[in-house]
Amino acid sequence: MNLKEQVELLLSQQKHPEIIKKNLDDQKLTHDVLLSLGVRPDSEFYELYTKYFLGSLIDSYSELVDPCSPDSFDGAIMVHEYWDIPKNYILFTTGEGEGGYFYNTEDNSVWDCGLGEQYLLGTDQLRHWSSFYKFMVWYLTPDES
């Protein structure tokens, strides 16, 4: 089973009723928002976010946000202005707790970064995943501890 299939299987096992497929209007809105943020249409991030509402997913660390409605991604813009985060990093969690998960539009990686650690983005000093699907498998897999 490839990573995409693993993510789809894990999503189907979630208990959140909001994890539903988007209709065409919501897909178009998501498409527009993601393109405005520099997300490539051939990326894993784009593929998953245009297909599903992921805004109800929450783990013990952070809640994901969905670009439908566009104000959900206000945090992504705020961190560029106030935290001095490079524009190729998109905050796709609430940012509560002064940190969150950042998607790198240039290489499809995901970074776990807190306030004060932004200078470490792109280095091996922060926890990160080499692909969005690898991050989602980790995020959706129940913690056994």
Q: What is the CATH number of the domain that holds 90?
A: 3.40.1580.10
Q: Which helix (H) or strand (E) holds 30?
A: helix 24-36
CB neighbour list of residue 18: distance below 8 Å, 6 or more residues apart: 53, 55, 56
Q: Considering the domain boundaries, does residue 145 fall inside one?
A: no
Contact (CB, 8 A) for 104 and 89: yes
Q: What is the pTM of this model?
A: 0.88
DSSP state of 143: P
Q: Please give the chain's pLDDT, 145 residues, in tens.
A: 999 999 999 888 877 655 678 899 989 999 998 999 899 999 999 999 999 887 767 665 677 777 666 566 666 677 778 788 899 999 888 776 678 899 999 999 999 998 889 899 999 999 999 999 999 999 988 775 5
Task: Name the residue range of residue 35's domain.
Answer: 3-140
Contact (CB, 8 A) for 48 and 132: yes
- Identify the pLDDT of residue 79: 75
Q: Considering the domain boundaries, does residue 130 fall inside one?
A: yes
Q: Considering the domain boundaries, does residue 106 fall inside one?
A: yes
Domain count, the chain: 1
How many CB atoms are located within 10 Å of the residue 7 CB? Answer: 22
